[in-house]
Structure 1
Amino acid sequence: MKNRKTILGIMTCQNKKYLFFEKEYFKQLYKIGKKNNIDVYVFYPDSIDWKSKTTNGFQYNPYKNRFETKIFPIPTFIYDRCFYSSRKEYRTYLPYIKKIKQERIPFLGNGLKGKWEVYQILSTNPLFKSHLPKTAIYRGENQLFQWLSTMPIILKPIGGSHGKGVIKVSIQNRAYHILGRAYNNKKIHLIFQNKKEFLNWIHSFTKEKRYLIQQYLNLTTSQYQPYDIRVLVQKNENGQWETTGMAARIGDASNITSNLHGGGKVESAVHLIQKEFSHYKAKEILELIHSFAKTIPPFIEQSHGELFELGLDLGIDQQGKVWIIEVNSKPGRNVFSILGEEQTIIKSVSQPILYTKYLAKNRSLGGNAQ
């Protein structure tokens, strides 16, 4: 084990149009891996041949600027970057991923199961719970009308991402208003006067997926633009959590989310908060954000098991209260590219390699890598 070169296998899902998504990110991981004596390649969960202890995979060729197909040894560590387009795709890959875990190949971190799991974990901490919007698993029309009688609500898929399939539902002037995005990312803006038609639409929209029902929060700028703060936290070369960077994602006033896939823009989080709030309030908000970045990851780990990186999505209402909206174990990092924060970009793509080095060193010394 000591003489074997450390291999980091990036596990990803096959895509019909492309080999896989995140090609630019994987190129960077290959280059940084090369500098750190770590061999990096990309593979699909179903491509491992357990008899020969090899896998078909793809490795970046910097001279030809393309990924080439090769046969590789089974990786020393696995970095999970699978994004499932449907429950069917997830179920297809699941037996292969279970087999990989049975063979005890360590992952950099074990992915969170979904928004509901995160909510349940954080709810056990009184401080975090006071910053969580009221949330429950969506059970149907009785629950829907019970909630709507007191507040506007959000319906969001438990395993969704990029703001797709998220809708706001409210009652205004005895009419049912729906605003949000479909799964194809198209805007939805509907008004139903008829209760039965409204319920038929809701049922049709939610029937294929498990949904959460959540208290709607007015998380907008003074110009009524929805926004949130994305904080990227990762483990470093010493196996310690640290904040890599943070950025504000801002949507236009016609959207309910700030997600970039819905046409949002990016701004410095510090600059936006200082612009929206008084000096004292902005300082207080930023201190709480840094506190959450420091305390939330290890707290989730205690219940969930090993993690490597998390994207914390935090909202701030117009009174300056910070809300914990979502925690994602497979965060993107394109917000920093858009902002042009070169040092943050480099750090965000270096940490997976540096943490792999830490795990490999720990393993060779007889430590517990996972």
Structure 2
Amino acid sequence: MTRTKVGISIQGTSIYLDDRTVVLSEAIAKKWKVPSNQTITMRFGSAKQDVKIVTASTSNSLRVNPALASKIGLHHGAQLNLHYRQNASTLSIGPLIGVMISRVYASSNDRPFGAITAFCKEMTDACDLFGAIVCFFPPDEMRANAQTLSAYSYSNGSWSKKTFPIPNVIYNRLTSRKYENMANVQQFMKDAKARHATDIFNEKYLNKTEVFEALRKDNTLHGYLPESYLFKNYQMLKSMAARHPVLFLKPITGSLGKGIIRIRKEAGDGFTCHFTNLAGVRKQSFSSLTAVFQALSGKLKTQRYQLQQGLDLITSDGNPVDFRALVQRGAQGQWAITSIVGRIAGTQHFVSNLARGGSLTTVPGALAKSSFSSATRVSVSGRLRKASLDIAKGIETQIPNHFGELGIDLAVDKMGKVWLLEVNSKPSKDDNTPLNNERKIRPSVKQIVQYARFLAKF
């Protein structure tokens, strides 16, 4: 696709520059065959404005009146893509990307969005690079039938709140199901899609049961799926315990390794349970499976669990290892692997989340301490990549929602077989930090902006 990037210049000094006249570089007007001195439509996000184009011998710029800029959320110095459609007499600039965030701390100038402020600044820098504007807004700014949006953006060295049109593309970074399920949020998303043809990606949380039931419909993915069911009753526990020496119970909406229970069969009729909590792991022994179920029955009343076959995972210095693949769509809309990192569980833990004392390593680093030969390590590394893409495509095919990135947690057993642990539609923006701390725009952030630009057809 041919792209032209223009710098937005806001000036109201010229005698002829009212809010219906814009000044475009002659070279760009000529390239796109934009007619001068006649009325055309200018689009930015959902905003449409009838304007008259005047050309000037400036280089790669679009000059607009301050009143028009303020009305549609443009700022001086913004770098945007531009194209002109002759058949519709429409000059489009953009894209405008909206990011749904959980909360704003208005009193904090340095960290208005809390822990994700640095990510939001990184998104802004990536948009400058690729020719886009990004704005950020919490649930209380989302309304039914909205024509405009009050949102935060970064320009001229600080964050400020402005009025924007409804964005071309919205990226859902709400980190709570509670916020995502609010009536006004759901209605806002529905209206944005229906009224303004806005593309919304990562539009919902996934839960563990939904993922495994969806992927089970695809025969080509069965090899990645440990035996796994929504936990319902004692009979199910008994049946699974007869087939597998170790079982896991995972809250279906859980994250960060919270609330996971490991059930291990011991000699005789005994079982040992390990419960994760904030302080670490609590161990409890039971004389029978019936006693285990009785101990769990209270939890089942307040939380739904996925019951999953335990796997004999590779370890590093005795600690279990798993892998997080970040799979994203990019500039052509295709799934690609942005990164895969190894995660080593902390001492005394059996889950690898960083929040539970786990540590990051490279894939070769994670496999180096396994008993695999060097040829097997190369083979396993390739299998991890293939599984990541297969599973992302399976989610796309089997779940009727739009996702632009997925965090896919995989495990490798001692035979070298790759297994799916879970899929996360809100992968942490800290978890996948490269294993160096240079302050550059991460590839994962560039992918998000390039995918948004692809969706918006810029």
Partner of 2:101: 12
Task: Report SS of the residue matched to 1:165.
Answer: coil
Task: Report SS of the residue matched to 1:155.
Answer: strand
CA drift of 1:224 comes to: 2.2
State the TM-score, normalizing by the size of structure 1: 0.85
Contact 1:15 1:21 in 2 (8 A): no
Larger fraction in helix: 1
TM-superposition CA deviations, 1:100-139 (whole Å, max 9, x none) = 2243131134435322222122223334212211001100
Counterpart pick for 1:263 among 339, 357, 362: 357
TM-superposition CA deviations, 1:166-222 (whole Å, max 9, x none) = 11012324444221323x564332234487764443122332222110011121315
Q: How does 1:81-96 map to 2 (within 5 A)?
A: 81-84=173-176, 88-91=178-181, 93-96=182-185
Alpha-carbon spacing, 1:241–1:196, altered in 2? closer, same or farther (3 Å): closer
Q: Which 10-residue stretch deviates more, 261-270 or 202-211? A: 202-211
Does 2:340 align with 1:229?
Answer: no
Partner of 2:444: 348
Task: Report SS of the residue matched to 1:334.
Answer: coil
Task: Report SS of the residue matched to 2:201.
Answer: coil
Q: Which runs of 5+ in 1 are unaligned?
A: 363-370
CA drift of 1:268 comes to: 0.7
Alpha-carbon spacing, 1:278–1:89, altered in 2? closer, same or farther (3 Å): same
Does 2:421 align with 1:332?
Answer: no
Does 2:232 align with 1:132?
Answer: no
Q: How does 1:109-124 map to 2 (within 5 A)?
A: 109-111=202-204, 113-124=206-217
Partner of 1:238: 332
Q: Which amino acid aligns with 1:73?
A: P
Partner of 2:417: 321
Q: Distance in 2 between matches of 1:49 and 1:95?
A: 6
Task: Report SS of the residue matched to 2:92.
Answer: coil
Q: Which amino acid aligns with 1:122?
A: L
Contact 1:11 1:44 in 2 (8 A): yes
Counterpart pick for 1:74 among 166, 179, 183: 166
Q: Distance in 1 between matches of 2:411 and 2:356?
A: 17
Alpha-carbon spacing, 1:209–1:70, altered in 2? closer, same or farther (3 Å): farther
CA drift of 1:43 comes to: 1.1
Partner of 1:281: 376
Q: Which amino acid aligns with 1:282?
A: R
Partner of 2:142: 48
Q: Distance in 2 between matches of 1:323 and 1:100?
A: 34
Counterpart pick for 1:145 among 228, 238, 242: 238
Contact 1:231 1:293 in 2 (8 A): yes
Contact 2:408 2:423 in 1 (8 A): yes
Q: Which amino acid aligns with 2:433?
A: S
Q: Distance in 1 between matches of 2:349 and 2:418?
A: 20
Task: Report SS of the residue matched to 2:445.
Answer: helix
Counterpart pick for 2:408 among 301, 312, 322: 312
TM-superposition CA deviations, 1:218-248 (whole Å, max 9, x none) = 2131532111111111111121221111110
Does 2:391 align with 1:296?
Answer: yes
Partner of 1:159: 253
Counterpart pick for 2:313 among 213, 216, 219: 219
Matched pairs, number: 356
Q: Which amino acid aligns with 1:23?
A: T
The structure number with the bigger radius of gyration is 2
Q: Distance in 2 between matches of 1:52 and 1:325?
A: 39
Task: Report SS of the residue matched to 2:224.
Answer: coil
Q: Which amino acid aligns with 1:142?
A: Q
State the TM-score, normalizing by the size of structure 2: 0.70
Contact 1:30 1:40 in 2 (8 A): yes
Q: Distance in 2 between matches of 1:175 and 1:38?
A: 61
